[in-house]
A and B are shown apart, each in its own frame.
Chain A
Amino acid sequence: MPRWLNYGHMQQSKTDQGAPATSQGLAADQGGSAAIDVARLVKVYKTTRAVDGISFRIARGSITGLLGGNGAGKTTTIAMIMGLVLPTSGTVEVLGAKIPDQRYDVLGRMNFESPYVDMPMRLTVRQNLTIFGRLYAVKHLRDRIDQLAADLDLTDFLDRANGKLSAGQKTRVALAKALINEPDLLLLDEPTASLDPDTADWVRQHLETYRKARNATILLASHNMLEVERLCDRVIIMKRGKIEDDDSPERIMARYNRDTLEEVFLDVARGRVREEAP
């Protein structure tokens, strides 16, 4: 069997031994402990193996994209990292804390945004941010909200009910909530889903700026290949609960002999091997 044909499985077995997945991951991890360390993670729902023995480490200060089609296991993986879903087996460490047992030690340093949750609709943007700011024990909360409102262009509707905002405005509010505690680790599930290209680009820009300013770690699950190409230092491609590929976007595209990640994604999703690709 040619090496590339079994690439995903080889990658899997390498990571199963706890070693960093890629040369890039290895280089990035050498500075200290990883922000996220996932080992042999499995999640079985009744008879479905949603996540099937994946392992990876994510270096601090990096942006990593989790790619995969519907049902690939991205959301379940992120939920297990957050401690909202318990693994069937395997281990997760986040910022040095074992999840779920020690999750309360690090929850104040994390935050997330997901299309599966909303901010309360009847409350104003300011009220919502005040509540989450208090939950995260943010100091000088009023100033922090004003600063976030200025950064994310929310000032004009701070006192408007969340339910009366457009989809783009709501996403920015959700991002403000995700950034309220200046998290060291930001988990984003489809952060630009249902946004127009201009707003989506704007959100990406903001995430990039935030990562640089805070040396924060960002893990994002996305279907938007352009977004992943532009934002991520590293891409983990999942299919049917397993890791199919794991490397920098450039190397993955080169390996598949493709110009865009979208083409790679389609190759992986449709089970095309690289020989068949142009």
Chain B
Amino acid sequence: MSEIVSHQPRGLSLHRINAMVLRYWYLLMSSWPRLLELVYWPALQIITWGFLQNYISQASGFFAKAGGTLIGAVILWDILFRGQLGFSISFLEEMWARNLGNLMMSPLKPIEFLLSLMIMSIIRLAIGVIPMTLMALFFFGFNFYAIGLPLIVFFCNLIFTSWSVGVFASGLVLRNGLGAESIVWTLMFAVMPLACIYYPVEVLPVWLQYVAWTLPPTYVFEGMRALLIDHVFRADLMIWSLALNAVLFAASFAIFLALLQSAKRNGSLLSGGE
């Protein structure tokens, strides 16, 4: 080996993960539209739903009692949705830049690549969601951080789900090229009606409730309502969510590796087009 190259560990390398995070950080900082976009949609969301919450809380005794349920749901949904987008968009940046071949030929391992995408999803999420929570506080008097410690559990469960969906969607794009890009933008919306973000699970038909309970976010949104309406922290729901997330995460990673192998068999790693 050349003497200018340091010895590289056989396992995970923080050095390489750090290099990839730096790559996405450079990209983010080089483009103000990218930064603006991170804040723009969450801000619009919170304003729209905040006013709706204000309106219906005046008209409905239930919503007056369950103050912030809608706004809380909007913020948690954004963590789920933007967490996945933050992951997947960083991945898509490589496809758009036709840089994937360079990365795949470097010593960067798939797991290191995925870990760097996860770190970037948290950074992108923080840029978008922190201003959103501050707007909720100043404009609508809803202090998201007053949820306290349960907020950390909600966040962890939602971000794990978002990464699982992100890993799966990225694998599909890797295998099928940019023709499959729309999956990245729309896949999480398939979860939306069943995760019962804005309404309790009992609203669904009984057979659909079984399906809803297979999704980790359903437990988080039920847990949020229990906390905001009944002031009870449902640890059982969070444990279920975490367990399902572990299964989902392992499955999505295995599927990603299988799709990567399939892309290598298919020869689509170097093309990456439609």
Contacts and interface: CB of A to CB of B under 8 A. Distances in A.
A86 B265 contact: yes
Contacts of B8: 108, 137
Given A107-B107, A161-B30, A114 B4 contact: no
Contact of A110 (B27, B31, B105): B105
B212 to A, nearest CB: 40
B105 to A, nearest CB: 5
A119 interface: yes
Main SS at interface, chain B: helix
Contacts of A183: 2
Interface in A96-146: 100, 104, 107-112, 114, 116-123, 127, 130-132, 134-140, 144
B107 A117 contact: no
Contacts, number: 127
B30 A131 contact: no
Contacts of A122: 26-27, 30-31
Interface of A: 43, 45, 50, 75-76, 79, 82-86, 100, 104, 107-112, 114, 116-123, 127, 130-132, 134-140, 144, 161, 177, 181-184, 214
A136 B107 contact: yes
B108 interface: yes
Contacts of A104: 10, 107, 109
A222 to B, nearest CB: 17
Given A131-B23, A134-B15, A100 B107 contact: no
Chain B: interface residue count, which band?
35 or more
Contacts of B102: 117, 119, 132, 177
A132 B101 CA distance: 12
B2 A184 contact: yes
A137 B8 CA distance: 7
Interface in B1-32: 1-2, 4-8, 10, 13, 15-16, 18-20, 22-23, 26-27, 30-31
B99 interface: yes
Contacts of B270: 75, 79, 84-85, 114, 116-117
Given A120-B23, A131-B19, A181 B98 contact: no
Nearest to A141: B4
Contacts of B30: 122-123, 161
A134 B105 contact: no
Max chain A C-beta neighbours (<10 A), residue from B15, B18, B269:
B269
Given A85-B267, A108-B107, A135-B16, 15 more contacts: A50-B267, A75-B270, A79-B270, A84-B105, A100-B264, A107-B105, A107-B106, A110-B105, A119-B102, A127-B26, A131-B23, A135-B106, A137-B6, A144-B4, A182-B2
